[in-house]
Structure 1
């Protein structure tokens, strides 16, 4: 359910203050609005009004997104990413109803100097280029504190929280965590599927857990006030991080393995441990991840099967949403980088392939449809307020 564009949005397009073709390479980009048909949740007029009211009255925070605009022709993706000038989807975000978005950039795919990603220099390129453009408009702004998120709600702006899905670029340099904090990064993942100096990734057949260096890194993040993400970490590493951290941690974008049996999903043991220490799981919606036996054709219904399971497992105070969407062909991104980032150590259950996840295709529509689904399924205003942002704020009050 798309919202009306935010009043503060004045139509800014990425790098529009520069000269195209001269200052930067031009690509035909995917549509931010209308690339796929709007998903019909069957809302009545009163229900639509309630969705709008809830998004107006309460903070809506997406715990994990990549709100960049992809090339219209996904075959140009590697060339596009190599320029490091990924475009931010300002128009789509202005229609999202979000108060804040945890933007995890495209550091693993910003292959400026390497085909394999996650290099320190490439990460600095990805951060610096996106931030330089962010500072040229005033609707979306870099948020580094809860006060910033609250100010965004007050002012009708959108707070962008800079995050990264893994710590591989820091290599064995602990102080690089401080540098990232200085650049405005406020959320870091431990490992992205493959093992690194900190610990095991979820695609590894054997997860040795959090390393000695990883424990030092967790301690440094705690001292600085950086939220820790274990979404792509292996099971033992996830448990070790939860135990080692002095504050709650996030599973920013995942689902329940009991609902869909792949290593990309988290087992009950990890979800429970995260919640018992005060943490939160954000339910994922990237194509072909949060499927279910009931809804093998990936859509918002499949995703909400994981939501309802996690609510039953650990309670509504420990569940939110990290849809993990972007503006453009997300399936094409997976196909382009499939060899780089394996997500599963074993076989995946058979399921139909989709071109996109109906109802949760991009950051502009995701939260409107999530709230619409919750409204049609009988959730109270207080329950909806918790799962669209309140739970995240509670954790950030302890972490930041």
Structure 2
């Protein structure tokens, strides 16, 4: 599957590598691993292809950059460059019409989150690359997503996993919105001035500043993400927000008991608020008792658990994948940031070097669609979870009525 409008552009090809910037050997975005075979019939494959073509397909959370070929050796230098190669070719084969790209990996140098100047640099470098090609659309609205689908292009929405970079400056949310950022997480695992992260033993909940930030994000029409927030903070956000709230990339703690997964109370609260959960596929997250070797089947166990819990209209996908060695990145980040928890913590399970069937942004949504076809889901159900639900919820957040006033 190749999107018709992609013409072969490669990141920063308007510059001379080794002269204008430091060049890294990047992981391939196509055919790094053999294709995953779900065992579909020719008729089922044709149906999956039709569904991916006819419907708007949205990832709520991915990192569509090409990692360095050896992230364990090159992570620090790669981060400092903030000139990351985009996986244009792989994305053109993904079936996706839109992706929330969680920026900042080129600037991540601290455990507490990304610094303001570094993130602005990373955002500007990404947008500069976009300005020299004609496949990706810088998207800031549902209308942009619909246009990308109609034109066979890809709508990229800028997001950030944590809000630590605003420090105590609420107006920085306005600046980020003005620069095109349309989704921000309250906390990236560690606590910040807004609220508690999921790593904390005691989550103190949303702070007074955090309440002001939630109100400002509602006024701006900026999506709030709870994926890395602590449970108490997540529930406080759901109580305070006037707009729907997202869990862009997580799974169900009722199925796999780790802090990275969300408890039923938070998932239900998100659905009750009119939001949704995007099911995660990063290595050793959405493992399940039925499939302790993390594969697409483990991921889809979390999908079905959440569908049973809140209804299919509140579930979608936020795979949280890269092009390249994701496990190598995890190991390098754990060492760099001095994290005590081991990669793959939680209940005992088999370790993997990649999640078979959901290894990168190019294959996650197509293979999820194939899995749903194989397991008897209807066309309407598949259309909803691969993009329809996200389109509805993002429209309600970005174009809702809770605007005006001063924080």
Contact preservation (8 Å) 1:257, 1:265: yes
Which structure 2 segments of 5+ residues have no match? 399-407
Q: Which residue of 1 aligns with 2:294?
A: 298
Structure 1 stretches of 4+ with a deviation exceeding 2 A read 114-117, 339-347
Q: Which residue of 1 aligns with 2:43?
A: 46
Aligned counterparts, 1:237-256, within 5 A: 237-256=233-252
Give the aligned CA root-mean-square deviation in angstroms: 1.6
Q: Which residue of 2 aligns with 1:64?
A: 61
Distance 1:280 1:115, change over 3 A: closer
* 1:111 to partner: Cα distance: 3.8
Q: Which residue of 2 aligns with 1:371?
A: 369
In the alignment, structure 1 residue 335 sits paired with structure 2 residue 295: no
* 1:319 to partner: Cα distance: 0.4
In the alignment, structure 1 residue 26 sits paired with structure 2 residue 16: no
Contact preservation (8 Å) 1:280, 1:318: yes
**Segment of structure 1 superposing worse, 23-32 or 248-257:** 23-32
Q: Which residue of 1 aligns with 2:405?
A: none
For 2:5 and 2:338, the matched residues in 1 are separated by 38
* 1:109 to partner: Cα distance: 5.6
Contact preservation (8 Å) 1:262, 1:344: no
Q: Which residue of 1 aligns with 2:402?
A: none
For 2:290 and 2:224, the matched residues in 1 are separated by 32
Please list the CA deviations of residues 140-175 of structure 1 after superposition, one character each: whole Å capped at 9, or x if unmatched.
111001110010111111100100001011111111
Q: Which residue of 2 aligns with 1:11?
A: 8
**3-state SS, counterpart of residue 287 of structure 2:** coil
Q: Which residue of 2 aligns with 1:35?
A: 32
Which structure 1 segments of 5+ residues have no match? none
Match of 2:226 among 198, 218, 230: 230
**3-state SS, counterpart of residue 278 of structure 2:** strand
Distance 1:352 1:63, change over 3 A: same
Contact preservation (8 Å) 1:203, 1:343: no
For 1:177 and 1:215, the matched residues in 2 are separated by 13
* 1:126 to partner: Cα distance: 1.0
* 1:46 to partner: Cα distance: 0.8
Match of 1:286 among 257, 270, 282: 282
Q: How many residues align?
A: 395
Contact preservation (8 Å) 1:199, 1:237: yes
Match of 1:88 among 81, 86, 89: 86
**3-state SS, counterpart of residue 96 of structure 1:** coil
Please list the CA deviations of residues 47-91 of structure 1 after superposition, one character each: whole Å capped at 9, or x if unmatched.
111111101111000000000001111211221111000111000
Q: Which residue of 2 aligns with 1:348?
A: 346
**3-state SS, counterpart of residue 59 of structure 2:** strand
